């Protein structure tokens, strides 16, 4: 999927000065992580639009498949809509791998919502070399539980009651944080304070990754 913002930049490399960038020898590959309420999807969308990166959202990809009138579509629909649990790591990994393959290698990439567990990260690490893309970098947007609960309660969706929010945050800590530790052991996680205003978070991500 090419993000609509691509049209604004005919040559994203030139605009973001890739030759000066110490981290990326080729088009950037970003993984954005953070608890619910941290604003990671907002930041992923901003970066995609500003720099012409392709944005691959795991939830979006699965919702697309769930629309299909196929065996896979029915299975995904059942899992995400009826059972409300995560799809199998192999399934989401195959889906994301195919989406990545469709992105031109000279276009930057942002992954939002994948990988999100140790099992997914292991599969990701296995298939990544096959994509022929350069190194990936991880941005972790931090937010305290207290602030996450405050923000999500304000959002006011039926599933945003404090108890439900806390349950989802717990799953973030039990499933996603062990993966973040593994990524840190691989030496590539940048931490950004998500309690700051959206524009300041954006500015710090851009500065940290040397996109400016
Ligand atoms: P989201 O849009 O991130 O809220 O995701 C919607 C639903 O898609 C989730 O509740 C999960 O059932 C499923 N999902 C999203 N991302 C993943 C993932 N990385 N692994 C497994 N299931 C996922």
Question: What are the structural domains, with CATH classification, of the chain?
Answer: 4-207 (3.40.50.300)
Q: Is 192 in the pocket of ligand 1 (CB under 6 A)?
A: no
pLDDT value at residue 8: 40
pLDDT exceeds cutoff 60 at 205: yes
Give 104 Cα–ligand 1 centroid separation in angstroms.
Answer: 25
Of the segments 1-15, 18-32, 44-58, 161-175, which one has the largest average pLDDT value?
Answer: 44-58
pLDDT band at 75 (very low <50, low <70, confident <90, very high): very high
Average pLDDT estimate for 14-31: 64
pLDDT tens readout for residues 94-141: 999 999 999 999 999 999 999 999 999 999 999 999 999 999 999 999
CA nearest 86: which of 123, 59, 118?
A: 59
Question: Looking at residue 155, what is its pLDDT?
Answer: 78
State pTM to two decimals: 0.85
Q: Given the CA of residue 79, which atom of ligand 1 is nearest to it?
A: 12
CA 35 – ligand 1 centroid, Å: 13
Q: What is the pLDDT at residue 159?
A: 65
pLDDT for the residue numbered 19: 44
Q: Which long-range contacts (CB under 8 A, 24 or more apart) does 163-168 make?
A: 165/36, 165/37, 168/36
Atom of ligand 1 nearest to the CA of 63: 8
Per-residue tokens: 196: 């700051």
CA 39 → CA 65, 112, 147, 151, 155, distances in Å? 25, 11, 12, 10, 12
**How far apart are the CA of 184 and the centre of ligand 1, in A?**
23
Residue nearest to atom 19 of ligand 1 (CA): 114
Report the separation in Å between the CA atom of 114 and the middle of ligand 1, taken as the mean of its atom positions: 9
Rounded CA-CA distance 210/32 in Å is 16
CA of 59 to the centre of ligand 1 (A): 4
CB 55 within 8 A of CB 43: no
Query: To test the ligand 1 pocket, which listed residue (58, 60, 65, 66) has its Cβ within 8 A of the most ligand atoms?
Result: 58
Give dist(CA 115, CA 97) in Å, integer. Answer: 11
* CA distances for 56 relative to 14, 103, 146, angstroms: 23, 10, 29
More confident residue, 7 or 32: 32
User: Positive or negative, the Cα torsion across 86, 88, 89, 93?
Assistant: negative
Question: Per-residue pLDDT tens for 154-184?
Answer: 877 666 777 878 877 888 999 999 999 999 9
Sign of CA dihedral 205, 191, 133, 65: negative
């Amino acid at each position: 999927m090419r993000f609509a913002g691509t049209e604004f930049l005919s040559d994203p490399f030139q605009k973001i000065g890739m030759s000066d960038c110490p981290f990326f020898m080729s088009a950037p590959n970003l993984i954005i992580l953070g608890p619910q309420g941290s604003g990671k999807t907002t930041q992923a969308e901003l970066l995609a639009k500003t720099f012409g990166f392709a944005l691959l959202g795991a939830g979006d990809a699965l919702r697309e498949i769930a629309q299909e009138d196929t065996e896979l579509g029915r299975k995904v629909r059942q899992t995400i809509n009826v059972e409300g649990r995560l799809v199998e790591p192999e399934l989401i990994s195959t889906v994301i791998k195919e989406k990545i393959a469709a992105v031109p290698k000279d276009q930057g990439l942002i992954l939002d919502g994948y990988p999100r567990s140790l099992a997914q990260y292991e599969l990701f690490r296995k298939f990544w070399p096959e994509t022929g893309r350069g190194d990936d970098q991880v941005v972790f947007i931090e937010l305290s539980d207290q602030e996450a609960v405050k923000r999500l309660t304000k959002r006011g969706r039926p599933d945003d009651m404090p108890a439900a929010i806390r349950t989802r945050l717990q799953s973030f800590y039990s499933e996603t944080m062990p993966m973040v530790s593994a990524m840190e052991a691989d030496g590539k996680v940048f931490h950004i304070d998500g309690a700051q205003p959206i524009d300041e978070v954006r500015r710090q991500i851009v500065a940290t990754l040397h996109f400016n």
